[in-house]
Amino acid sequence: MKFTKRNNILYLRKRVPRRYAMIEPREYVWISLHTDLEDVAKRKAPNIWDEMLEAWEAKLHGDDDDAEVRFEAARDLAAIRGYRYLPAAQVAKLPRKELFNRVKSVRRSDGSIDQTEAAALLGGAKKPEVTISRALEMFWTLAHDRIRGKSKEQIRVWRNLRMKAVKNLIDVIGDRPIADITGDDMLDFRQWWQDRIDEGNLKAGSANKDLAYIGSILRTVNKMKRLGLNLPLSDLRIKEGDKKTRPSFSREWIRDKILAPGVLDGLNIEARGILLGMVNTGYRPSEGACMTSAQIILDHTVPQISIEPVGRTLKSQYARRQIPLLGVSLEAFKMCPDGFPRYANSSSLSATINKYMRENGLMETPEHTLYGLRHSFEDRMLDAGIDDRVRRDLFGHSLSRERYGQGASLEQARDLLKPVAL
């Protein structure tokens, strides 16, 4: 780079790239390097030129018709100039020295005002109106870290639940800017849910999930986009009644009905394998569905399955575990040693099995579902006097105290489970 000395100070003289002609009227720029030493100037010049390019880029974006892009560009330009973007009302309250420096920075050499610089440094950029639907679009990007490690099916469910909640809110109060949402709006939405609950169509838990998803979306956008809004999202939860406990299947029902010869032959082999695998392991249906050959370990002194976050996230940190295989569950995995690819990324498993069991008289009561096999496994362990720590480790549940040691070995767990296996 070549430098020119003015008043004993070295300057960098560069032609303005054509890309920025619409926002930079000068053909050439002279940039002070604030030194008379050429070796110092050589070190400083590349960074100073990069900052100039960044500022021009920010100005270029500020010329965009999109209000969000313009506002982001103004914030970026303020940061490049060494200032924090503030609304005009706050700029006016700054200490006199900083206010003077900001005003000085927006003047061109000919005394005219650079309007783009003024919008950034003096707070003239208008905050964009973010509607409820737009907030959801922004949320997908802002919360991308929350789906890291999830499977395609988990992501689909995660997104759909939030899309449904936002659609419900828009249906009730309209797709208004989130800055305009009032406490009355949210109370109207709460009452809409309360009316549906009172009609007996839905439960309070569904309403509270919607409220939680909406709260998460709006708070995330408000925080990450630095909108500074006071959102009326607190004290909206609807009181839930006593939660129903999912009934477990009795040992006799499983033995005499579900495991009766030929009863499950009409169920496809993978669904049948997952069901039978659940009988003596108590895994969650989704955990069984995502098993791979690497997690099904049959050539071991203790045949076992290893539940791990492979291609998906687990329900909690405690869900990672190993479970010995015994009885019909061992036979099920011998039948499907490579896992269950048909259901690895599908949401149809429970519906398929529940439908088959109801149509074939395999539900012990109308309230029973496939999940009752998990509860039955725990009941049988409890009846056998198996220690709480061992039960929780096998079930993937947390302890109410700190975990000490490694817990029961696979061999110990296998021996404890033998009397309860079917």
pLDDT tens track, the chain, 422 positions: 678 888 888 878 888 888 777 767 778 877 777 888 888 888 888 887 777 777 777 666 655 555 666 677 777 777 877 888 888 888 888 898 888 888 888 888 778 888 788 888 888 777 777 899 989 998 999 998 888 888 888 888 899 999 999 999 999 999 989 999 999 999 999 999 988 888 877 888 899 999 999 999 999 999 988 888 899 999 999 888 766 677 999 999 999 999 999 999 999 999 999 999 999 999 988 888 888 899 999 999 999 999 888 777 787 777 888 899 999 999 999 999 999 999 887 778 888 999 999 999 999 999 999 999 999 999 999 999 988 888 888 888 877 666 565 678 889 989 999 999 99
Q: Residue 107 — φ and ψ, nearest 5°?
A: -85, 135
Sheet holding 304-307, edge to edge: 296-297, 304-307, 321-324
Q: How far apart are CA 120 and CA 78, in angstroms?
A: 5
CB 414 within 8 A of CB 324: yes
- Judged by phi (left if over 0) then psi (alpha if -120 to 50, else beta), residue 231 lies in beta
Phi, then psi, of 382 in degrees rounded to 5: -65, -45
- What's the rounded Cα separation, in Å, for the pair 116 and 98? 19
| Cα dihedral across residues 193, 247, 349, 418: positive or negative | positive
Give the CA distances from residue 58 to residues 53, 75, 86, 149, 243, in Å, rounded to whole numbers and listed in that order.
9, 9, 16, 34, 54
- Helix/strand/coil percentages in the chain, nearest 5: 55, 10, 40
User: Rounded to 5 degrees, what angle do the CA atoms 153, 159, 163 make?
Assistant: 140
Tallying the residues shown for the chain, one arrives at 422
Tell me the chain's radius of gyration from C-alpha atoms.
32
